[in-house]
Structure 1
């Protein structure tokens, strides 16, 4: 008995979502194993950071090529291929005893990860009506972060118990299983299991990429993703656990619990932000700027706290950082609304570069600063992290500059092409108050 169309849509989305959950597990596994990796490979913070930076560099560098491939070959083939490539990387990491093997492993993880998220996002507008797309985009990004919980708790338990090899082989096994599920359950569109775009020339590929990049709305999405995502990614992927354990003096269990709070916060915030974006699409940038302010404010509080911050302040930090993931999803909504369907994969790939470029730069800078202060040892103190983590404010300043500039250009383009004028919020609110007062006067006169 065949599934009803609505049930089939949810089944396809669930299969894609499972693939993304495991991709996040693979992506964040090194952060959970950071201190173990330093001891296993005998490396300092800078070298350890370079593993994650290389992984993110591969991920970010492949986003545009993968976006072009997605427009050509569809989601199913890329999701399955990505899952198997990541699993191969984790097998290699499980058996690595030197830096060369670890580096190759993270390259494979980054390459497979690059194929997964935007391919799953591409499924949503094919299977669901437009009014549901903003909320489901949020849910895709946020439910997928359950992979961080898997890495923070079960993977960490395997590292502490059976050990390194068992932990990473288990992650690889989960990756193969989910790739097989995707192969069986995914369909690119309701009409076709595997949907291929028309063959295109290099000239057409260049035109699609150029068209996506030239539109200021795409670049606004990129800078949105750049600025909202990187603080949470840096925390979850690399430096959060070392900061909490070596800097703030928490146990591994307490640090893992805070990482879980980080993930749950994102899951809770996602549907709320998705609904707000759906209801107020012309005010998306205000949500973005508010999230950035919350993230930076929380980091400022923790870093300026005398000595080690108390646990409630650290909980406040992870709750604030948890909003960054949902905020970065707004960048993809910019890509969707400012680009035609035939180049949506390309535009999504451009946007997805932003947060990961910011993350890899920040991860490497933090590692270099820690090495400079400790001489390459893993003997960190809170003062070392206080200096190193402050580099995030410089990266955020660059992102804010990009957001404000491209928002102005995108609004100008919107006015020229569609005649839509976005007034400053204070002006719009004042007009609404005047209108409400006028309506109240008329109603009063009617009753008299």
Structure 2
């Protein structure tokens, strides 16, 4: 007996459903595997592992131990700002050679970004952190007892190598131990703790140097870092028990990875934003902030340290909030990025162009606070843009390029400031710092202009339209 047409159609629909599901699944898998068009937001990856990491107390313990290493790395990276004037007397050197201490450290940090990523892939986060900590312990101890500027430079180079292995692996531990819904907050907290390490390198280290002297202060820092190495050895594991190592992504050459990242507009936006937003305060933190306040504005050491610390602390409360906000509303990235970078750039232009010397303390202090805000907010936006237009399994090179661009700008600005101060017989007053900081202000404006051009018709997140 023939079935009615309606029944036959219903059965046919039921029989065809699996085929449609297979077709849809194939299309989704194909879309996830293909790279997104350069300049457009990357398509979301539809494949998910069978189970996400559980998070919980054990995850917070592992991340807390690792992020303490990042705190220490930031402390070591920026310690020269508080020690700059004492180092100049200890090693009897000019501002140009003195600037080589943090500059070479940052240069090594920049150069080791991509090799550090390869090392992390082979050894895992725990092994990479242990190597980085060992390098920082040895470098800080050498810096503490260095009899000459050459030995001090060697110590800072070791610190730079160790520092280069830290941030990437702390972020990776967050991804391996926490479920996806908690990862954005963990990433924001990682940046926040790093900012606190940057703050701790100024006033506390300045107090240690004044009360204990050069060698005991830096040997104490080396001892604390040694204790962190032991904690990582005992407490940190690469992933929760029962979770296998992630599968290997398709390997392409380093050259092909760099070309792929530079073709996509997202990483280029991230590079310009990082250079415009984080350069000024990072340059102050690694060397010239403390001399600017003390010799440029005439503050006593205690007041200078307190002001610099307060300037960094003020915007930190915004970081988790902004991470949640831009994560929920990606369309806010462009106005926030442009507002922040133009404000900082024009602020420093006003500082270097102010007639008759540096602006009053309230005005210069405001620009420093804005620069600190740019520095702590920059990573969440810069590295978010770096993922746009990139296959999910190859965003590491794009992130390395963003980091390298920002810190390369810091290196150039720091060297230029030292050379210009030397040309004026040292940091002798406000006008000398205005001249010395002019190249930095010019680079900020150039990076902000490039960022504006790249974002002019940048696709809105999730729409593909400008």
Q: TM-score, normalised by structure 1?
A: 0.85
CA contact (8 A) 1:72 1:196 kept: no
Encode CA deviations 1:162-219: one digit per residue, 9 max, x unaligned. 2000111111111111122222222323357995864987x54444444333322122
CA contact (8 A) 2:283 2:413 kept: yes
- Aligned equivalents of 1:189, 1:92: Cα separation in 2: 34
Which sections of structure 1, spanning at least 5 residues, go unmatched? Answer: 424-448
Higher mean C-alpha displacement, 173-182 vs 208-217? 208-217
Matched residue, 1:432: none
- Aligned equivalents of 2:385, 2:236: Cα separation in 1: 26
Distance 1:114 1:131, change over 3 A: same
Matched residue, 1:438: none
Query: Secondary structure of the residue that 2:79 maps to in structure 1?
Result: helix
- Aligned equivalents of 1:38, 1:197: Cα separation in 2: 51
Encode CA deviations 1:248-307: one digit per residue, 9 max, x unaligned. 001111111112112212422212321221122133122111111222243344441644
Matched residue, 2:317: 268
Higher mean C-alpha displacement, 396-405 vs 141-150? 396-405
Encode CA deviations 1:318-376: one digit per residue, 9 max, x unaligned. 321111123321111223454344323333222211210110010011111111121xx
Matched residue, 1:436: none
Distance 1:127 1:166, change over 3 A: same
Number of aligned residue pairs: give it. 412
2:97 aligned with 1:47, yes or no? yes
Distance 1:49 1:192, change over 3 A: farther
Matched residue, 1:352: 403
CA contact (8 A) 2:276 2:447 kept: yes
Match of 1:281 among 323, 330, 347: 330
- Aligned equivalents of 1:60, 1:31: Cα separation in 2: 19
Matched residue, 1:361: 412
| Pair member with larger Rg | 2
- Aligned equivalents of 2:465, 2:396: Cα separation in 1: 27
Matched residue, 1:333: 384
Matched residue, 2:143: 93
CA contact (8 A) 2:312 2:373 kept: no
- Supply the RMSD in Å over aligned alpha carbons: 2.6
Distance 1:188 1:335, change over 3 A: farther
- Aligned equivalents of 1:86, 1:406: Cα separation in 2: 38
Distance 1:402 1:62, change over 3 A: farther
Q: TM-score, normalised by structure 2?
A: 0.82
Match of 2:433 among 385, 404, 419: 385
Which sections of structure 2, spanning at least 5 residues, go unmatched? Answer: 1-52
Matched residue, 1:182: 232
Matched residue, 1:28: 78
Q: Which structure 2 residues correspond to residues 237-316 of structure 1 after superposition, within 5 A?
A: 237-303=286-352, 304=354, 306-316=356-366
Distance 1:288 1:39, change over 3 A: same
Match of 1:343 among 369, 373, 394: 394
Query: Secondary structure of the residue that 2:201 maps to in structure 1?
Result: helix
Encode CA deviations 1:127-163: one digit per residue, 9 max, x unaligned. 3344443343222112212212322222211211120
CA contact (8 A) 2:200 2:309 kept: no
Larger proportion of helix: 1
- Aligned equivalents of 2:407, 2:315: Cα separation in 1: 18
- Aligned equivalents of 1:187, 1:337: Cα separation in 2: 30
